[in-house]
Structures are given as structure tokens and as C-alpha cells.
Amino acid sequence: MRLPVYLDAPSTTPVDPRVFEAMRPYFMERFGNASSRQHLYGADAADAVASAREKVAALIACEAEEIVFTSGGTEAVNLALRGFAAANRAKGDHIVTTATEHRSAMDSCRRLENEGFRMTYVAVGEDGLVSPSAIEAALTPATRLVSVLLANHETGVVQPGADIGKICQTRGIAYHVNAVQAAAVLSLDVDLLGCDLLSLSAHKMYGPKGIGALFVRRRERRARVAPLLEGGGHERGLHPGALPVPLAAGFGEAALIALNERAADSSRIAALRDRLWAALRGAIPGSFLNGSETSRLPGILNVSFEGVEAESLLLALRQEVAASSGSGCTSDSPEPSYILLAMGLPAMRLPSSVRFGIGRFTSDNEVDFAAGSVARAVADLRKRSPLA
């Protein structure tokens, strides 16, 4: 067993060996630019990108031409929010989202507010769930976009995405779904979700870092999006620059594997999550689960340990268990998680929250070892606490 045990899959997943092998040829032997179709090297690269696009499209049940490759999930979210807002401002300036979105969405929304757009951040309950009726109540005649994080990166809470989509369709309002955390383990269908835009990231689903995708609906109701950068007509003019062919090939392979294996992965990972939670709860009095007990991802477990600071616990576990106190994008901030704050958790639980993330390659032995390590560390920290 490799130490420290890796339990931070929501931050990033290791590249699946099958994905790495799919990428390998495009770094050296098959190095062409996919935009240089005039010769065989470029044509070969273009074929690889086309194949990858089809595989990513199959993962979310859309058409290949509706997939726009980006540099990652953050760009995809920015393109969905800021790009859509710029292209549709004349039709309305109001956007609705939730108070527990990923930082990429929250920062995009703040920027749009500075540019004169009006935002509504709909509250969630203590379980982290947003009510579709609360989303509907926030809509106005000027609302042009609703954006929802389908599966939360800190708590694993899964929102009622399809119910929100039905509301948006009825009102003729565009709908963006951030599915970055969901794609590896949840079945996704853009028509069932009723969305017009959907964000993905390869490195959250055992693919390479540095590439993501945005679904931009072209059928029935066409979604209009303006580019964030200039520099050529690549990716329907929405993502300029030469595509990283090796990363695209890896993304495509990761999507294909997820499509074929996510049901089995999800079941096994959920069993490991429940095993970990049962062990922690049984060994550590004063353990609290944060977020919905039922509507959540299989691999994320967010727990508060009474009387223990998360940062001290993670430091104590550094050689044995790799977990986190929140998302990677906010790990440098000393402030309590804005997501847990928005859920209205008791103040005592905020600084003691730890996120454990289980993935495709996590084993039973690793979960058992981690549970024992956490229990010992918590007990030791409580003994040394001046409040004990």
C-alpha cells in the first residue's frame, strides 16, 4: 500500500493507465497540429480530435459538434457564464445561480456584477440542497440564464438538476450545468437534464490536466456564446489556439471508460465511502456528516470532528492520509468554507470539516488504514487540546 493513502479524488484523479496509453503516441510519433489538415500529420491529429469529441459527446448524450474543447473546467464555466452573458445581454441582464457554486462560477458571477449584470444567489438548506421552487421564485422577466453546480465538490451533494431544467425550459431560460464532479460517476444526458450548456473537466475523471469541454446546444434551441479570447477560428471560434491533441485523445479515452464503467465504479466507490463513514463514526465520538445523506456523490465524504481543527488534523495525517479541508481552488484561504457557511452549519463544525474523496483506484485496505489513522490522530489532538 502506497503512503500516504490518497483520499482527495475531488481535487484531481490519477490518470488511468489506459488513458495514458491512448495519449502516448501523440506526444512524439503522431505530433501533428489538428488545424493543419493539408498534410497527413495534421489530418491524423484532426482524426484523433474528432474521435475524442465523439467519445466526450457520448458521455453526456449530445452531438459531437456540440462539444467545445477548453483548457479545463474553469474555462468551460467561465465561457458558459461570461460568454453567454456577453452574447445575450441585449435580451436580459439577470442571472440566477446558487450560493454553493464552485469558485470558478462564483468569481465569474462577481465579475459579471461589476459589468452591470444582476445576480441572484439562491440559498440552500442545511443539507446543501437547493429547492427547484426557490430557483423558480428567483426568476424574473429579465432572467436569461440559470447556472447550477450539479454535484458539489466539497460536500458531494447532488442537486435536482432535471427538475431545475424543466423550470428553465418552461420559462424559455437558458440553463448551464456544471457537471465537472459528476461525469465520472453519474449518468448524464443533456436532454434529460434540459440544459443548454454543460461543463466538463478531464482530470476529474481519470484523464489529463489541462483540458475540459463545454457542451453548447445546437439542436432545437441554439445557445449563443461569445468567445473570451481572440486568436483564430478554432472550436467554433470559442477557444482559440492549437488544440493539445494528446490531451484531447486522453480526454476521449477517459470519457469512453467512464461511459462503460461508471455504474460499476459508482457502486464500488459508494460502498467504500459508507465503509469509511461507518468506521469513523464508530471510532470517533462527535463526528458529523456535512450535507445530504441521500442525494450525494458516491465518493465524497465531508465530516466535522468536534473539537479538532481540520488543518491540525491534516498536518498530523500528512505522512499517512492525503485528504483536504475543502476544494483545491480555495486551499490557500484560511477562511471557513463559504459552501459550509451557506449551508448554515453550526459555527463549531466549520473549522473542523475534512473532505475525504474516494476514487476508482481506492482499495478496501486503504480505506481501513485511513480510518484507523484518522481515529488515532483525532484522539491525540483532543488529548493535547487546551479545551479537553
Residues classed as catalytic: 329
* Residues forming a β-bridge with 143: 94
Mapping DSSP onto H, E and C, the string for the chain reads CCCCEECECCCCCCCCHHHHHHHHHHHCCCCCCCCCCCCHHHHHHHHHHHHHHHHHHHHHCCCHHHEEEECCHHHHHHHHHHHHHHHHHHHCCEEEEECCCCHHHHHHHHHHHHCCCEEEEECCCCCCCCCHHHHHHHCCCCEEEEEEECECCCCCEECCHHHHHHHHHHHCCEEEEECCCCCCCCCCCHHHHCCCEEEEEHHHCCCCCCCEEEEECCCCCCCCCCCCCCCCCCHHHCCCCCCCHHHHHHHHHHHHHHHHHHHHHHHHHHHHHHHHHHHHHHHCCCEEECCCCCCECCCEEEEEECCCCHHHHHHHCCCCEECECCCHHHCCCCCCCHHHHHCCCCHHHHHHEEEEECCCCCCHHHHHHHHHHHHHHHHHHHHHCCCC
Q: Are strands 353-357 and 300-305 parallel, antiparallel or unpaired?
A: antiparallel
User: How far is residue 14 CA from its own chain's centroid?
Assistant: 15
* Residues forming a β-bridge with 98: 122
CA dihedral over 111, 125, 356, 266, signed as positive or negative: negative
Is residue 306 within 8 A of residue 287, CB to CB? The reply is: yes
194, amino acid identity:
G
